[in-house]
Structures are given as C-alpha cells and as structure tokens.
Amino acid sequence: MASEIQNLIVNKKIRVSDPLFEEIHRLQADNEENLSKLNTGYHSPSEIRTYLEKITREKIDDSVTVMLPFYTDFGRHISLGKDVFINRQAMFVDLGGIRLEDAVLIGPRANLITVNHLTDPNERRGLIVEPIHVKKNAWIGAAATILPGVTIGENSIVAANSVVTKDVPDHVIVAGTPAKIVKYIEPIS
C-alpha cells in the first residue's frame, strides 16, 4: 500500500508552499474520473472491485463487498483485506493510509479520516497525515468517525455515531465522543 509519496508525508507537516502539496492534488485529480464512474449508475460487484483496483492500484479480493456510493479523496493509500464489507456512503480520506485487515465491517456513512490541517492560522491550509489501521474482524458502526493515527483492535466494535480519537485495544466495544470503552468482549477461542 505505501507509495513513495506516502513515505514522504506521514507524520510530517505539508505546507501549501511545499511542491509536494501540489503533487498530492495532481495525484488526487487523477483518480476523480474513476471515482466518478464508480459512483455513477449500477455496477456489478465484480465491476465495483475493478474500479476499486484502478483507484487503489491494488488487487481487490473477490470476497470484498463495497456498497455504492463509496467516497475517497485520494484512493491510492487504501488497502483492503479479504472478506471486507463496506456499506453505503463510507468516506475514506486516505492520504495518510487506511489499512483494513480481513473480515472488517464498515457501517454506512462511516468516516475514516487520515488528514488534519495545521493548527497555526497562518498555515491552516497545510496538512498533517497519519495512517489508520483497522485490525481483523473489527466493526465500525454507522456514521462513526475514526481520526488520524488511530488503530482499531482485533474483534473490537466502534458504536454507531462515535468519534474515535485514540487507539482502541483488541476485544472491546467503544462508544461516544470521544469514544471510550463501554464493554469488554470475550475473545473467540
């Protein structure tokens, strides 16, 4: 998944004056046509995976299901494991990298955001990016938001409408804004 550009930008400030800022926007524009085609009209599951392969530049396993519309602002930094299910209107802001391991479920209107703006008002249009990692068999509920740099643990659940600002350990349910552990799940034996 990691591209040359991703290795240059993760956890670094990208200012508007940086030539990399323009390159990011050029690469983003390259994917607009494929993303538009993906979200226009009916497509079979196989056709959806073919468009996703063009967008991500990765092989998408036949076990992956993505319901349309699917949104991404960059596309090239998404990695999907096997048996992944992504429900309608999911938004992947993936410049920093989004990795979904096997059997991950993403609820409708979920937001996975790897990009933040700089806090200095004079540099506000600049960016800082951090990857998101969702481990095996995790479930992100409807309209939940996962913020930059967060890892969601194996078998864990993010309750609907939650905002996750920190790593989530394995085998828990988190809920709220900011999300906090509300229950422990017995590991699968």
Residue 116: φ, ψ to 5° = -135, 160
- Rounded distance between C-alpha atoms, residue 174 and residue 164, angstroms: 8
Query: What is the reported pLDDT for 79?
Result: 97
* 43 given a catalytic annotation: no
The CB density around residue 180, as the number of other CB atoms within 10 Å, is: 13
- Per-residue pLDDT, averaged over 99-108, amounts to 98
Q: How far is CA 102 from the centre of its chain?
A: 14
Q: Whole-model pTM?
A: 0.94
Q: Helices marked H in the chain — which ranges?
A: 4-9, 19-38, 45-56
Q: Is 24 helix (H, G, I), strand (E, B) or coil?
A: helix
What are the distances in angstroms from CA 58 to CA 1, 49, 50, 132, 189? Answer: 7, 10, 10, 17, 32
Q: Is 62 helix (H, G, I), strand (E, B) or coil?
A: coil
Percentage of the chain beyond pLDDT 90 is 83
| Catalytic pick among 25, 43, 77, 117 | 117
- Rounded distance between C-alpha atoms, residue 155 and residue 76, angstroms: 26
- Per-residue pLDDT, averaged over 55-78, amounts to 96
Residues 112-164: pLDDT tens digits? 999 999 999 999 999 999 999 999 999 999 999 999 999 999 999 999 999 99
- Which residues, 6+ apart, have CB-to-CB distance to 82 below 8 Å? 61, 63, 64, 102, 103
